[in-house]
Amino acid sequence: MQSGYKVKKFFSSQILLYSFILLLILLSVFVPSFFSARNILNILRQASTIGIIACAMTIVLIGGSVDLSVGSVVGLSGVLAISYLYRSLWLAILIPLLVAGLIGFLNGIITVKFKVDSVIVTLGSLAIIRGVTLLYTGGKMVDGILGSPYMLIGSGDFFGIPKPVVYFFFVALLLSLLLHKTKFGRQIFCIGSNFEASRTVGISAERLKVITFVISAVFAAFSAILISSRLNTASPLEGTGYEFDAITAVIVGGTSLFGGRGSLPKTILGVLFLASLNNAMVLLNLNFSFEYMVKAFLLALFVYLDIRLKDI
* Nearest C-alpha neighbor of 187 from the set 104, 63, 66: 63
In a domain, 12, yes or no: no
In a domain, 290, yes or no: yes
Q: Which run of H or of E encompasses 284?
A: none
pLDDT at 5 over 90: no
> What pLDDT score does 190 carry?
96
pLDDT at 10 over 70: no
What is the percentage of the chain residues whose pLDDT exceeds 90?
Answer: 70
pLDDT at 12 over 70: no
In a domain, 24, yes or no: no
> What pLDDT score does 13 carry?
57
CATH number at residue 43: 1.10.3470
In a domain, 9, yes or no: no
pLDDT at 1 over 50: no
pLDDT at 90 over 50: yes
In a domain, 99, yes or no: yes
> What pLDDT score does 298 carry?
84
Q: In the chain, which ranges are E strands?
A: 142-143, 157-158, 161-162, 233-234
Check if the beta carbon of residue 123 is closer than 8 Å to that of residue 111: no
In a domain, 188, yes or no: yes
- Please tell me the total count of domains within the chain: 1
CA distance readout (Å), 186 to 51, 69, 113, 191, 299: 22, 25, 23, 9, 26
Domain that holds residue 180: 35-311
> What pLDDT score does 311 carry?
55
In a domain, 5, yes or no: no
Q: Which range (8-17, 39-48, 281-290, 294-303) has the least confidence?
A: 8-17
The per-residue b/e assignment along 276-302, b for 16 or more CB within 10 angstroms, e otherwise, is: bbbbbbeeeeeeeeebeebbeebbeeb
In a domain, 2, yes or no: no
- Tell me the per-residue pLDDT of 221-247, one tens digit each, with 9 for 90 and over: 999 999 999 999 999 999 999 999 999
Collapse the DSSP code of 240 into the 3-class scheme (helix H, G, I; strand E, B; otherwise coil) and give the result: coil
Phi then psi for 94, rounded to 5 degrees?
-75, -40
Q: What is the mean pLDDT of residues 153-162?
A: 90
